[in-house]
Structure 1
Amino acid sequence: MNARRPIAVALTAGAVSLGLLTLSACGTSPSDAAEGKGGRLDVVASFYPMQYLAEEIGGGHVAVRTLTAPGVEPHDLELKPRQIGELGEADVLLYLKGLQPAVDDAVAQAGVRHTVDAATLTSLDSPAAEGGEHADEHAEEPAGDSHDGHDHGASEGLDPHVWLDPVKYAEIARGVGAALGKADPAHAADYEKNTDALVKKLGDLDTAFATGLKNTATRTFITTHSAFGHLAQRYHLEQEGITGVDPESEPSPARIKQLQDIAKADKVTTVFFETLASDKTAKTLARDTGLKTDVLDPLEGITDKSKGSDYLAVMRANLAALQKALGAK
């Protein structure tokens, strides 16, 4: 099996078979690799944030496939044998190491020359997974319960949800653009132009968040999935997660009691939940504390329930939700 010149693939978690060991790259030229896709580069992305970058930067020069279908929680993804086999045929692989360990293993064995790990393009450092000044008070609670034995980077104190910080996402975009240019030198100028345009849009988004959240009645927000540590750090907010980075884990009674106290002390008005995970815990906490509920989307995928059709639109919906919940002035 020929391994085509890698372009941009982002991978998600799943069952990895020994068949990947046979996917070592023999190496074909960029022109040969593109022939099977109508002259376009074959880019594989692990989940939506990587897919969005590939499509925005690659434009008409790339054919983008994603391993995570719309509506599938990325942390829960299992790769099918067919998907695993196709990894080695990609021109470019785009993924984020530490988000989906099974995907990490598959990528390591696929042998794709142009493999891009978004985690190497920016810093994953952020506050504790539960976040905020109260993190030490519930240190006995794990930062994120493991899912199928995986802690999604929490064991190293790293938060993989860097795409929710427009500044860090722009840094990743720069790296992806450079990688596409190396994989497809003939269109490097177009990739650079598209990267600059996307970075400009992300800069405008950053300005909107910084301005829109500058003056608020409270700086604390409660959310089911502790995915917003980078966003909170960027805009000087305090994230308090009901669970850790695993959206399906259950909080302890002690944590629920603590959140009730935090909500009262910090004048929290809203408990946020997300579209791809159960809202049961958030609604229970809100009911017991007399709070409202709303959606804060971690943008791990776009569905018909998303408040927008792409990354920028959903992020602006997130901003509006935060402004309302925090009492922006």
Structure 2
Amino acid sequence: MKKIIAATALFCSLLLGACSNSQSNDADPAKDAGLSIVTTFYPMYEFTKEVVGDAGEVSLLIPAGTEPHDFEPSAKDMAKIMEADAFVYNSPALETWVSNVTDSIDTKQTAIIEAAQDIDLAENEEEHDHEEADHDHELDPHVWTDPVLAIQEVKTIRDQLSEAYPDQKDQFTENAAAYIEKLEALDKAYSQAFKEATQRTFVTQHAAFGYLARQYDLVEASISGISPDQEPTPSRLAELKEYVEENQVKVIYFEENASSKVAETLANETGVELAVLNPIESLTQEQMDNGETYLSVMEDNLSALQKSIK
């Protein structure tokens, strides 16, 4: 609560400063040189960057390699959002702090874009299986792990940016079409890979692939809930051990950017293989420097899933 009060007070002062400079900003030729767009975490960054192209600069608010579920913006972060031409986030189901920021933003200066706004989010079905109910994540936000819903998010970003900045509409439309074509190819690859599968079950470290599973008629069983910080109960682990054995699961998937201790424990107890399945909640700076992208990681995920789905 103290953090919210302090942040709100500072935010108000920043807002007053922004208002006093609004006339000069409107006349600033640098504003006409290109849009400044702030995005929350990696998929939002890539989706937006692909739509914007060279029409502006797209930045990442949540630092590379940072787990986004529990991120809280600093006063500097909030000022960065206020000064941008647009702010793109996934949904309040993930960025639970976003209403504290957006309520104070002048939407005439900064377009606020919720990429998942037209997607019906699924309820957190895993909540009852863990030590503490995850009330901050009662809805599953991981829509981007489904290529079909990723396309929908790209279209929402395209349409809302076009509405806010109509002079760039043609460019946004053209850029989005080129990227959507790649996402459609990704969807086709997933569909074909799992079309004839008879073993359709996979076990993950946390419940980040529910939308992907539903899209391709698969079954995800997760050790932890929507948030990777949730700890499974002993009864949940016992239940999963039995599940792995009964369903002849060969692989348990963990995440490189989160603790894999529980996944390793379950794999050791059941004698199955460990493999990486990336929920793309963030990419490390090294991964980004090496040219890894949403598309390349999703292709790696497809290869990894084929170890289970046969």
The verdict on a shared fold, with TM-score over 0.5 as the criterion, is yes
Answer whether contact 1:72 1:301 (CA < 8 A) is retained: yes
Over the matched positions of the two proteins, sequence identity in percent amounts to 35
Of stretches 240-249 and 72-81 in structure 1, the one that deviates more from structure 2 is 72-81
Query: What residue is the counterpart of 1:123 in the other structure?
Result: 120
Answer whether contact 2:42 2:280 (CA < 8 A) is retained: yes
Query: What residue is the counterpart of 1:321 in the other structure?
Result: 304
User: TM-score if structure 1 supplies the norm length?
Assistant: 0.83
Query: What residue is the counterpart of 1:21 in the other structure?
Result: 12
Superposed CA deviations along residues 43-64 of structure 1, whole A, max 9, x for unmatched, are 0101111111111010011111
Query: What residue is the counterpart of 2:275 in the other structure?
Result: 294
Query: What residue is the counterpart of 1:55 in the other structure?
Result: 49
Q: How does 1:192-207 map to 2 (within 5 A)?
A: 192-207=173-188
Superposed CA deviations along residues 307-326 of structure 1, whole A, max 9, x for unmatched, are 96100000010000001222
Uncovered stretches (5+) of structure 1, i.e. residues with no partner: 1-14, 131-138
- Aligned equivalents of 2:28, 2:228: Cα separation in 1: 38
User: TM-score if structure 2 supplies the norm length?
Assistant: 0.88
Deviation at 1:219, TM superposition (A): 1.1
Superposed CA deviations along residues 98-139 of structure 1, whole A, max 9, x for unmatched, are 20212332123223341011231322236x543xxxxxxxx8
Amino acid at match of 1:276: N
Of stretches 254-263 and 183-192 in structure 1, the one that deviates more from structure 2 is 183-192
- Aligned equivalents of 2:128, 2:281: Cα separation in 1: 28
Query: What residue is the counterpart of 1:250 in the other structure?
Result: 231
Query: What residue is the counterpart of 1:71 in the other structure?
Result: 65
Distance 1:266 1:62, change over 3 A: same
Q: What count of residue pairs does the alignment treat as equivalent?
A: 296
Query: What residue is the counterpart of 1:111 in the other structure?
Result: 106
Is structure 2 residue 129 aligned with structure 1 residue 141? yes
Deviation at 1:66, TM superposition (A): 1.4
Deviation at 1:79, TM superposition (A): 1.4
What secondary structure does 1:294 align onto? strand
Deviation at 1:284, TM superposition (A): 0.7
Structure with a larger share of its residues in helix: 2
- Aligned equivalents of 2:32, 2:283: Cα separation in 1: 26
